[in-house]
Structure 1
Amino acid sequence: MHKGVVYALLAAALFGASTPFSKMLVGQMAPVMLAGLLYLGSGVGLLTWYALRFISSRGKQTSGDRLTARDLPWLGGAILTGGIAGPVLLMIGLTLTPASSASLLLNIEGVLTALLAWFVFKENFDRRIFAGMVLIVIAGVLLSWGQSSKLEIPWGSLTIVAACLCWAIDNNLTRKISASDAVQIAGIKGLVAGSVNLLIAVEMGYLVPDVHVIFNAGVVGFCGYGLSLVMFVLSLRHLGTARTGAYFSAAPFVGAGVSLLLLGETPSTVFWIAAALMGAGIWLHLTETHGHKHTHVPLSHAHAHRHDAHHQHEHDFPWDGKEPHVHPHEHDPLTHSHDHFPDIHHRHKH
């Protein structure tokens, strides 16, 4: 299995598994307060990890792929849309929309992510990928529909759709900087978004919960939002936005499965139908092949790499021969043919 797929499925599993635990916490504080603590736990945990890693390696391990000044607009846009605006719009929508409708509408994020990637950011796709995305989305819809036989769509649903659009924009903007350090990206996003959301909650008059509740929310946030986002960024690096979003759409299924285990419920027929559809969609993606003659334009960036067909460059510093290694490097023009994904080296036109 391609490592980009593994990263995406790990991201989905971590995020999906965090949902039942978040539901256990939401009764102990206001939703907007919980959103702030989840993101803050993610940011604090990841930046602590980043600092310890930096100290242990004396700066050598992370010096090559750190965020640069040209990455900041993309990161700022991702934080503003996905870390701040998205959660706030969702909280507003939840006050006006039944939970069953909200769960159903949240599946729109995967669709909007793919549509933006394909038609705005010009990421390549074919009929097989499109069909797989459709099956995964239908599975998510069925899973949400099975939670309630009643579906009501009041005007508040528009804000939830807007929240999904914000996260879709976030996913596509994050792809632009996915070659940079994933831990640094996710850590900064969590710290900034968490702080802003927490300030919003305090300004709205909500009380800060007890220390043990804060700790529990921080742990859930670190795993379900922090580590999940690290895996998501790594998948973006290897698969592109639409394919990563498609695999990440498995998160609701993982969340439902964990909920069934925790609550001891018996899976319904709809659950198994959704599982089969999602499995078929993922199979279509896993068995995809896309290869043709293509030309790599000159490119300069930094990321962990091995000296494969795409990395035949000299070093202007002493190199001990260890791989993978990280440093800024340049790609010369190259024309060849092989199977590939729209990763950081294959964002060419067709």
Structure 2
Amino acid sequence: MNASVGFALGAAALFGLSTPIAKLLLGSVSPVLLGGLLYLGSGVGLIAARFWRDKGWQITGLKSGEWPWLAGAIVFGGVLGPVALMLGLQRTAGSTASLLLNLEAVMTAVLAWVAFKENADRRVVVGMLAIVAGSVILSWPTGGSTDRELGWGAGLIVLACLCWAIDNNFTRKVSASDALFIAGSKGLVAGCVNVSIAMAVGDSWPPLPTALGTMAVGFLGYGVSLVLFVLALRGLGTARTGAYFSVAPFIGALVSLMLLGESVGSAFWVASGLMALGVWLHLTERHEHKHTHDPMEHTHPHFHDEHHQHVHDFAWDGQEPHAHEHKHPAMTHTHPHYPDIHHRHVH
């Protein structure tokens, strides 16, 4: 299995695992403050991990043209998205909200294909639709007609999905850079914004052990998960990463079944089959054609594979992967590939 696929599924697993655990915490932490602490744990934990990894603070490695993309991702994904979601949840039934949140994967893929010209063949489209269909079945409301009524609250949740779809596509633009810095920055901003909202509406601070436990869950389920998501974006592109990540609701439902003792019906197993079909279609995808690489200069961890045949102007100990600024000359060849950071060509 491609390592980037493992990153995407790992991101989905960690996020899916965090959902039932967060549900257990709702008894002692308000929803808005809970979201803030989860994001804050993500940001603080990742920035601390980066500081420890680099033995101090190091430059980010982002080029001047990449900062606007990161700033846009933070604004849309870390500020506007969470605020729109919290406002929408106040006016929308939980079942409807869960259903609408599945639009994020669809919007992410559509933006990637239409606005950012990312390639997607029929197999990838069908696989994504199968995964999203499984998510929709899992979250389909079972209550009365009032659960299905749409209004301003639902519109705000759709807006939140659009914000996160924009965030995902913007993040792809900087996915070759330091994943810890990218994910940590987004977590810190989102955490500060949501905690500030919670304090402004009068939420009370939970006991210290509960707050620290919530932040620890956020570090893994939101922080490490986001780092893996960025690494997957680097190797798979936006639409495919979003599709793999869409299995998170299934993982959350499975954990809820084991951890919370919740019962499942036939819909759970139908959704499982659809998601398994979608993942299989993506895993067995083979995209190969003659393509040309334009000259490129960037920095990211790499092996000396067929795309990285360069000499070093510094002492190198032979360890791989390693990261440094390097140049890619123009090249034309044929091999199987994903729309990763080296294959963002038009078709």
Q: Are 2:312 and 1:312 aligned?
A: no
Deviation at residue 149 of structure 1 after TM alignment: 6.6
Q: Matched residue pairs, number?
A: 345
Question: Would you say the 8 A contact 1:96–1:154 is kept in 2?
Answer: no
Deviation at residue 263 of structure 1 after TM alignment: 1.7
What's 1:136 paired with? 131
What's 2:77 paired with? 82
Query: Residue 70 of structure 1: SS of its match in structure 2?
Result: coil
Query: Residue 338 of structure 2: SS of its match in structure 1?
Result: coil
Q: Which moved more, 1:77-86 or 1:21-30?
A: 21-30
What's 1:4 paired with? 4
**C-alpha distance in structure 2 between counterparts of 1:261 and 1:134, whole Å:** 27
| AA partner of residue 48 (structure 1) | A
What's 2:259 paired with? 262
Deviation at residue 70 of structure 1 after TM alignment: 2.9
What's 1:39 paired with? 39
What's 2:322 paired with? 325
**C-alpha distance in structure 2 between counterparts of 1:142 and 1:36, whole Å:** 29
Deviation at residue 71 of structure 1 after TM alignment: 2.3
**C-alpha distance in structure 1 between counterparts of 2:63 and 2:222, whole Å:** 23
What's 2:246 paired with? 249
TM-score (norm. length: structure 2): 0.96
Deviation at residue 35 of structure 1 after TM alignment: 1.3
| AA partner of residue 17 (structure 1) | L
Question: Would you say the 8 A contact 1:146–1:270 is kept in 2?
Answer: no
| AA partner of residue 149 (structure 2) | I
Question: Would you say the 8 A contact 2:82–2:190 is kept in 1?
Answer: no
TM-score (norm. length: structure 1): 0.95
- Taking the TM superposition and a 5 Å limit, the aligned residue runs for 1:1-350 are 1-55=1-55, 66-145=61-140, 148=143, 151-155=147-151, 156-350=153-347
Deviation at residue 68 of structure 1 after TM alignment: 3.8
**C-alpha distance in structure 2 between counterparts of 1:148 and 1:279, whole Å:** 27
Question: Would you say the 8 A contact 1:66–1:184 is kept in 2?
Answer: no
Q: Which moved more, 1:314-323 or 1:119-128?
A: 314-323
Deviation at residue 209 of structure 1 after TM alignment: 1.7
Q: Deviations over 1:317-340 (max 9, x none)?
A: 111222111000110000000000
**C-alpha distance in structure 2 between counterparts of 1:121 and 1:68, whole Å:** 20
| AA partner of residue 199 (structure 1) | S
Query: Residue 300 of structure 1: SS of its match in structure 2?
Result: strand
| AA partner of residue 312 (structure 2) | H
Structure 2: segments with no counterpart, 5+ residues = none
Question: Would you say the 8 A contact 1:86–1:164 is kept in 2?
Answer: yes
Deviation at residue 148 of structure 1 after TM alignment: 4.8
RMSD: 1.5
Question: Would you say the 8 A contact 2:11–2:245 is kept in 1?
Answer: yes
Structure 1: segments with no counterpart, 5+ residues = none
Question: Would you say the 8 A contact 2:95–2:141 is kept in 1?
Answer: no
Q: Deviations over 1:251-276 (max 9, x none)?
A: 00000000000122343111001000
Deviation at residue 89 of structure 1 after TM alignment: 0.7
Identity %: 59
Q: Deviations over 1:294-320 (max 9, x none)?
A: 000011110010111101112111112
| AA partner of residue 24 (structure 1) | L
Query: Residue 7 of structure 1: SS of its match in structure 2?
Result: helix
Deviation at residue 30 of structure 1 after TM alignment: 2.4
Q: Deviations over 1:10-60 (max 9, x none)?
A: 0000001101111122232322211111111001111111111111xx78x
Query: Residue 264 of structure 1: SS of its match in structure 2?
Result: coil
| AA partner of residue 129 (structure 2) | V
